[in-house]
């Protein structure tokens, strides 16, 4: 069950050279608004609810999102850096060529979202809701997704690298070809059939063997 897997080739966000600054204390977001090629930093976006909003070629840096609900959100060529998106509701979002760097994603709701060419590094995504998600070419690195929900999702060329996945839920999600070998998967909620073809370390294989009802003899006497 242990073999090497090349990391997915993630397409990076594309930004124009001359990007407009849009640093304000409060940004008003309404239904069907479209933000293009702007740099938004050092501000708060709070108490906003809108649908069908799109951001393209946008950089968010040091932005605090509070009480945010954006249904059917579209993110293309976007970077979030040092942002707090805790408990934001981005359910049903379409996310492409987007990076989350050193962000707080606690309780972030991405259920029913589509993520492609997405990179998350040094993020805290405890309790994130990512069930029924379509993920393709997604790399999650050096991040915390403890007690997060990835149930009934579709993973294609997804890799978890040095992630904390303790007590995360992944039942109903096929992990075939998914590399878990460098992550902490203690208490991972999966079914036997979900693990078929997963890439794991020898110690993880011993832990997961309990799902098969196996008893591992490590050299002692069984009684």
> Does any domain span residue 11?
no
> Does any domain span residue 8?
no
Q: Count up the domains in the chain and report the number.
A: 1
> Does any domain span residue 144?
yes
> Does any domain span residue 218?
no
d(CA 82, CA 92): 23
pLDDT digit string, tens, across residues 165-223: 999 999 999 999 999 999 999 999 999 999 999 999 988 888 887 766 545 555 655 55
> Does any domain span residue 2?
no
Neighbours of 176 (CB within 10 A): 12
> Does any domain span residue 169?
yes
Phi-psi region of 187 (alpha: psi -120 to 50; beta: other; left: phi over 0): left
In this prediction, residue 31 carries a pLDDT of: 94
55: domain CATH number is 2.160.20.80
Contact 101/84 with Cβ under 8 angstroms? Answer: no
Q: What is the DSSP letter of 105?
A: -
pTM metric for this prediction: 0.88
> Does any domain span residue 221?
no
Tokens, residue 142: 């050096």
Phi and psi at residue 219, in whole multiples of 5°?
120, -10
In three-state secondary structure terms, 125 is coil
Domain hosting 144: range is 20-212
pLDDT digit string, tens, across residues 27-74: 788 999 999 999 999 999 999 999 999 999 999 999 999 999 999 999
d(CA 59, CA 67): 20
d(CA 19, CA 103): 22
């Amino acid at each position: 069950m242990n073999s090497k897997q090349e990391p997915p080739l993630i397409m990076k966000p594309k930004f124009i050279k001359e990007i407009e600054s849009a640093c304000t204390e409060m940004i008003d977001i309404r239904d069907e608004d479209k933000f293009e090629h702007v740099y938004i930093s050092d501000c708060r976006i709070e108490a906003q609810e809108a649908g069908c909003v799109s951001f393209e070629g946008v950089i968010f840096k040091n932005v605090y999102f509070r009480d945010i609900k954006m249904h059917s959100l579209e993110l293309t060529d976007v970077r979030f850096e040092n942002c707090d998106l805790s408990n934001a509701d981005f359910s049903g979002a379409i996310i492409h060529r987007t990076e989350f760097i050193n962000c707080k994603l606690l309780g972030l709701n991405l259920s029913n979202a589509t993520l492609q060419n997405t990179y998350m590094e040094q993020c805290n995504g405890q309790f994130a809701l990512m069930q029924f998600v379509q993920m393709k070419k997604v790399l999650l690195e050096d991040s915390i997704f403890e007690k997060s929900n990835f149930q009934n999702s579709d993973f294609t060329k997804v890799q978890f690298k040095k992630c904390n996945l303790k007590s995360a839920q992944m039942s109903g999600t096929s992990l075939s070809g998914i590399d878990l070998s460098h992550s902490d998967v203690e208490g991972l909620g999966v079914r036997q059939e979900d693990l078929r073809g997963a890439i794991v370390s020898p110690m993880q294989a011993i832990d997961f063997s309990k799902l098969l009802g196996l008893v591992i003899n490590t050299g002692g006497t069984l009684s």
